Amino acid sequence: MNKIKEYTKLIFKSLINPKNKLSLIPNWLSFTRAIGGIAMPIMAYTGATPISLLSLLSFLAISDFLDGKAARYIAKEETKEGAVLDAISDKIFSLSLIIGIIAISPIFIINGILEGAISLINAKSFEHGDEPKSNQIGKIKIWPLSAALILGYLSHSMGNTSFLGISPEIINYISVGLSAITIPLEAINIKQYYNAAKEKRLKKEPETSKEQQINPKVVDENTLEKTKVKTKEKPNKHTKTPHYKLKPSSNKLLIVKNEALNPRKQEKNVVKRKELKK
């Protein structure tokens, strides 16, 4: 969660106060797709004309192409937060359109679940410090999915009128067909993202030695010596250690028992001896 919070702060900073002020142009071009994705279903259900919907979709499609160009040629840099903002804006755009069109074509529920799974895997990767990048399948599947969504909203906004001599029913059938084509591509994409994230996590884990992998009982002697801890034997409380005392008449050491140093014990010993003599 800390990584997600960190990236969220970076994204807000990139939209309000980036280090390079020229980065505001590509960043806001990317963010318009998130806004447009939320606005599109609202427009479609409030009676917007097909031309207005197509105009908005055309602008959003162009913004996806222009944000990268603006980052390279206007801002003169491609930042990490800009790349994250671009990926998040694309997901908000597609998921908002999918959720909005489910009432028109229920088949898009499957697309929504699969796209949500991709977003969850990427979010987990971000949390672990990885930076998931779009792969070839991901770039291919976005085209039939986008076309399916555009045609679905177009057929709904047409009502009973035809568009370029094509009835809304035919346009809706084409939309459903493109949605069905996208489903296996999304499933493949989920597997690719999952495997890529798993490989990156395995690389970060400490590598075990080859000997331990072949035979877990084999352990390097050097590692054992390092891990050995020399424990000192604690003296037993019940054992009595002899004390050493200098003899007054000579410089020789005499070993004196503990009883000799304790006057109370001496008195007890004298009493015991007297009783024994009696």
- pLDDT reported for residue 67: 85
- pLDDT-derived band at 232 (thresholds 50, 70, 90) equals very low
User: Per-residue pLDDT tens for 75-107?
Assistant: 888 777 787 788 888 888 888 999 999 988 899
- pLDDT-derived band at 235 (thresholds 50, 70, 90) equals low
- pLDDT reported for residue 109: 94
Position with higher pLDDT, 32 vs 239: 32
Map out the domains of the chain with their CATH numbers: 2-205 (1.20.120.1760), 243-277 (no CATH)
- The H or E element spanning position 275 is helix 263-277
Q: What is the mean pLDDT of the chain?
A: 75
Cα-Cα end-to-end distance for the chain = 88
pLDDT-wise least confident of 43-57, 148-162, 199-213: 199-213
What angle separates helix 50-73 from helix 136-158, to the nearest 10 degrees?
150
243 three-class SS: strand
Would the pLDDT of 205 be above 60?
A: yes
Share of the chain above pLDDT 70, in %: 70
- What's 200-213 look like in SS3? HHHHHCCCCCHHHH
- pLDDT reported for residue 242: 52
Residue 226 β-bridge partners: none
Contact 84, 7 (CB under 8 A): yes
Cα distances from 273 to residues 139, 149, 257, 268, 278, in angstroms, run 104, 111, 18, 9, 9
Q: Is 43 exposed, middle or buried (0-12, 13-18, 19+ CB in 10 A)?
A: middle
DSSP state string for 71-87: HHHTS----HHHHHHHH
Highest average pLDDT, of 23-32, 236-245, 259-268, comes from 23-32
User: Per-residue pLDDT tens for 240-250?
Assistant: 555 444 445 44
Contact 245, 256 (CB under 8 A): yes
- pLDDT-derived band at 7 (thresholds 50, 70, 90) equals low
Contact 112, 119 (CB under 8 A): no
> Averaged over 29-54, what is the pLDDT?
88
> Averaged over 25-35, what is the pLDDT?
89
> Averaged over 244-268, what is the pLDDT?
51
255 three-class SS: strand
* Those residues with Cβ within 8 angstroms of residue 246's Cβ, 6 or more apart along the chain or in another chain: 252, 253, 254
Pairwise CA distance, residues 27 & 20, whole Å: 11
Give the count of beta carbons closer than 10 Å to the beta carbon of residue 69: 11
Contact 37, 150 (CB under 8 A): no
User: Per-residue pLDDT tens for 141-174?
Assistant: 888 988 898 888 888 888 777 777 788 889 889 9
Residues recorded for the chain: 278
